[in-house]
Protein backbone atom coordinates (compact mmCIF):
# COMPACT_ATOMS: atom_id res chain seq x y z
CA UNK A 1 0.00 0.00 0.00
CA UNK A 2 2.86 2.31 0.88
CA UNK A 3 4.38 1.43 -2.42
CA UNK A 4 1.24 2.35 -4.28
CA UNK A 5 1.13 5.74 -2.65
CA UNK A 6 4.73 6.30 -3.53
CA UNK A 7 4.00 5.39 -7.13
CA UNK A 8 1.10 7.82 -7.32
CA UNK A 9 3.31 10.57 -5.94
CA UNK A 10 5.98 9.89 -8.53
CA UNK A 11 3.50 9.91 -11.40
CA UNK A 12 1.98 13.10 -10.10
CA UNK A 13 5.29 14.88 -9.82
CA UNK A 14 6.46 13.61 -13.16
CA UNK A 15 3.35 14.95 -14.77
CA UNK A 16 4.11 18.36 -13.33
CA UNK A 17 7.83 18.21 -14.02
CA UNK A 18 7.27 17.60 -17.69
CA UNK A 19 6.19 21.17 -17.87
CA UNK A 20 8.52 22.66 -15.35
CA UNK A 21 11.20 22.83 -18.01
CA UNK A 22 8.93 25.09 -19.85
CA UNK A 23 8.07 28.02 -17.61
CA UNK A 24 6.62 30.08 -20.44
CA UNK A 25 4.21 27.32 -21.32
CA UNK A 26 1.05 29.25 -21.49
CA UNK A 27 0.60 29.56 -25.19
CA UNK A 28 -0.04 33.26 -24.88
CA UNK A 29 -0.19 34.93 -28.21
CA UNK A 30 3.09 36.47 -29.07
CA UNK A 31 1.38 38.49 -31.72
CA UNK A 32 3.34 41.53 -32.68
CA UNK A 33 6.69 39.85 -32.45
CA UNK A 34 6.08 36.47 -34.04
CA UNK A 35 3.33 37.22 -36.51
CA UNK A 36 0.33 34.97 -36.87
CA UNK A 37 2.06 31.62 -37.28
CA UNK A 38 0.66 28.33 -36.06
CA UNK A 39 3.51 27.67 -33.67
CA UNK A 40 2.80 30.53 -31.32
CA UNK A 41 -0.89 31.05 -31.90
CA UNK A 42 -2.37 27.60 -32.14
CA UNK A 43 -0.01 25.12 -30.59
CA UNK A 44 1.51 27.27 -27.90
CA UNK A 45 4.29 25.63 -25.97
CA UNK A 46 2.45 22.58 -24.77
CA UNK A 47 4.38 19.42 -25.35
CA UNK A 48 3.98 15.75 -24.54
CA UNK A 49 1.31 14.55 -22.17
CA UNK A 50 -0.39 17.86 -21.58
CA UNK A 51 -0.66 18.50 -25.29
CA UNK A 52 -2.35 15.15 -25.81
CA UNK A 53 -4.71 15.77 -22.92
CA UNK A 54 -5.53 19.25 -24.08
CA UNK A 55 -6.43 17.99 -27.51
CA UNK A 56 -8.44 15.06 -26.13
CA UNK A 57 -10.59 17.24 -23.95
CA UNK A 58 -10.65 20.15 -26.35
CA UNK A 59 -8.77 22.35 -24.00
CA UNK A 60 -6.92 25.49 -24.98
CA UNK A 61 -4.40 27.53 -23.12
CA UNK A 62 -6.08 30.88 -22.99
CA UNK A 63 -5.29 32.52 -26.27
CA UNK A 64 -6.73 35.98 -25.87
CA UNK A 65 -6.23 36.78 -29.52
CA UNK A 66 -9.23 34.70 -30.42
CA UNK A 67 -11.77 35.71 -27.77
CA UNK A 68 -15.07 36.64 -29.42
CA UNK A 69 -15.41 39.93 -27.56
CA UNK A 70 -11.69 40.74 -27.36
CA UNK A 71 -10.45 43.77 -29.16
CA UNK A 72 -9.65 43.03 -32.75
CA UNK A 73 -6.32 41.47 -33.49
CA UNK A 74 -4.97 41.02 -36.97
CA UNK A 75 -4.49 37.32 -36.43
CA UNK A 76 -8.21 36.81 -35.94
CA UNK A 77 -9.14 38.61 -39.15
CA UNK A 78 -9.56 36.95 -42.48
CA UNK A 79 -10.62 39.97 -44.48
CA UNK A 80 -9.65 40.56 -48.07
CA UNK A 81 -7.21 43.32 -47.24
CA UNK A 82 -3.46 43.64 -47.10
CA UNK A 83 -3.36 42.79 -43.42
CA UNK A 84 -5.81 39.91 -43.98
CA UNK A 85 -3.55 38.60 -46.72
CA UNK A 86 -0.56 38.88 -44.42
CA UNK A 87 -2.33 36.96 -41.66
CA UNK A 88 -3.36 34.32 -44.16
CA UNK A 89 0.19 33.82 -45.40
CA UNK A 90 1.51 33.56 -41.84
CA UNK A 91 -1.17 31.21 -40.56
CA UNK A 92 -0.83 28.95 -43.60
CA UNK A 93 2.90 29.22 -43.99
CA UNK A 94 3.70 25.49 -44.14
CA UNK A 95 0.74 24.61 -46.35
CA UNK A 96 1.39 27.58 -48.64
CA UNK A 97 5.05 26.63 -49.04
CA UNK A 98 3.93 23.16 -50.12
CA UNK A 99 1.35 24.49 -52.57
CA UNK A 100 3.88 27.02 -53.89
CA UNK A 101 6.37 24.24 -54.64
CA UNK A 102 3.57 22.41 -56.45
CA UNK A 103 2.34 25.53 -58.21
CA UNK A 104 -1.28 24.89 -57.21
CA UNK A 105 -3.56 24.15 -54.30
CA UNK A 106 -6.24 25.53 -52.02
CA UNK A 107 -4.00 28.06 -50.28
CA UNK A 108 -2.99 29.54 -53.65
CA UNK A 109 -6.64 29.79 -54.74
CA UNK A 110 -7.43 31.57 -51.49
CA UNK A 111 -4.37 33.82 -51.57
CA UNK A 112 -5.22 34.85 -55.13
CA UNK A 113 -8.72 35.87 -54.07
CA UNK A 114 -7.58 37.65 -50.90
CA UNK A 115 -4.92 39.68 -52.65
CA UNK A 116 -7.37 40.36 -55.47
CA UNK A 117 -5.09 38.92 -58.15
CA UNK A 118 -6.42 37.99 -61.53
CA UNK A 119 -5.40 34.42 -62.09
CA UNK A 120 -4.45 31.72 -59.62
CA UNK A 121 -2.43 29.84 -62.22
CA UNK A 122 -0.21 32.85 -62.75
CA UNK A 123 0.14 33.34 -58.98
CA UNK A 124 1.01 29.66 -58.62
CA UNK A 125 3.73 29.82 -61.29
CA UNK A 126 5.22 32.97 -59.81
CA UNK A 127 5.39 31.41 -56.33
CA UNK A 128 6.82 28.20 -57.74
CA UNK A 129 9.47 30.01 -59.75
CA UNK A 130 10.60 32.08 -56.77
CA UNK A 131 10.12 29.34 -54.23
CA UNK A 132 13.60 29.33 -52.71
CA UNK A 133 13.69 33.08 -52.05
CA UNK A 134 10.11 33.32 -50.79
CA UNK A 135 10.07 30.22 -48.61
CA UNK A 136 13.55 29.62 -47.24
CA UNK A 137 12.42 27.27 -44.44
CA UNK A 138 11.10 27.52 -40.91
CA UNK A 139 14.11 29.31 -39.47
CA UNK A 140 13.09 32.44 -41.34
CA UNK A 141 10.73 34.60 -39.28
CA UNK A 142 7.16 34.21 -40.48
CA UNK A 143 6.71 37.96 -40.96
CA UNK A 144 9.60 38.00 -43.37
CA UNK A 145 7.86 35.31 -45.41
CA UNK A 146 4.58 37.22 -45.53
CA UNK A 147 6.33 40.47 -46.41
CA UNK A 148 8.31 38.99 -49.25
CA UNK A 149 5.33 37.10 -50.69
CA UNK A 150 3.24 40.29 -50.68
CA UNK A 151 6.14 42.23 -52.21
CA UNK A 152 6.50 39.62 -54.93
CA UNK A 153 2.77 39.72 -55.69
CA UNK A 154 2.87 43.51 -55.91
CA UNK A 155 5.99 43.58 -58.03
CA UNK A 156 4.50 41.53 -60.83
CA UNK A 157 2.13 43.82 -62.72
CA UNK A 158 0.82 40.98 -64.81
CA UNK A 159 -0.70 39.40 -61.69
CA UNK A 160 -2.81 42.55 -61.10
CA UNK A 161 -3.24 41.96 -57.37
CA UNK A 162 -5.40 45.01 -56.75
CA UNK A 163 -6.34 44.43 -53.08
CA UNK A 164 -2.80 44.69 -51.84
CA UNK A 165 -1.95 47.37 -54.44
State in angstroms the smallest separation of the CB of 147 from other proteins.
19
Q: How far apart are CA 61 and CA 55, in angstroms?
A: 11
What lies within 8 Å, CB to CB, of 94 at 6+ separation is 38, 138
The answer to whether residues 106 and 53 touch, using CB atoms and an 8 Å cutoff, is: no
Q: Does 160 bind other proteins (CB under 8 A)?
A: no
Q: Does 94 bind other proteins (CB under 8 A)?
A: yes
Out of 6, 10, 32, 102, the only residue in the binding site for other proteins (CB under 8 A) is 102
Q: Shortest CA distance to 92 belongs to which of 153, 32, 63, 135? A: 135
Q: Does 84 bind other proteins (CB under 8 A)?
A: yes
State in angstroms the smallest separation of the CB of 3 from other proteins.
11
3-state secondary structure of 154: helix
The answer to whether residues 60 and 54 touch, using CB atoms and an 8 Å cutoff, is: yes
State in angstroms the smallest separation of the CB of 71 from other proteins.
4
Q: Shortest CA distance to 150 belongs to which of 119, 125, 126, 121? A: 126
- Single out the segment in contact with other proteins by CB under 8 A; choices: 70-78, 146-154, 156-164: 70-78
Out of 30, 81, 82, 131, the only residue in the binding site for other proteins (CB under 8 A) is 131
The answer to whether residues 90 and 142 touch, using CB atoms and an 8 Å cutoff, is: yes
Out of 28, 47, 148, 156, the only residue in the binding site for other proteins (CB under 8 A) is 47
Q: How far apart are CA 145 and CA 122, in angstroms?
A: 19
- Within 23-42, the residues that bind other proteins by CB under 8 A are 25, 37-39, 41-42
State in angstroms the smallest separation of the CB of 30 from other proteins.
14
State in angstroms the smallest separation of the CB of 45 from other proteins.
9
Q: How far apart are CA 24 and CA 20, in angstroms?
A: 9
Q: Which is nearer to other proteins, 71 or 157 (CB)?
A: 71
Out of 30, 81, 82, 104, the only residue in the binding site for other proteins (CB under 8 A) is 104
Amino acid sequence: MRQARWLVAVVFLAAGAANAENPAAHGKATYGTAGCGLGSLVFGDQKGMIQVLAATTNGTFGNQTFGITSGTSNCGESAMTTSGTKTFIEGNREALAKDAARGSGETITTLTAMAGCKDEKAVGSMLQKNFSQLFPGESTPVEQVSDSVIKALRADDALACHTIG
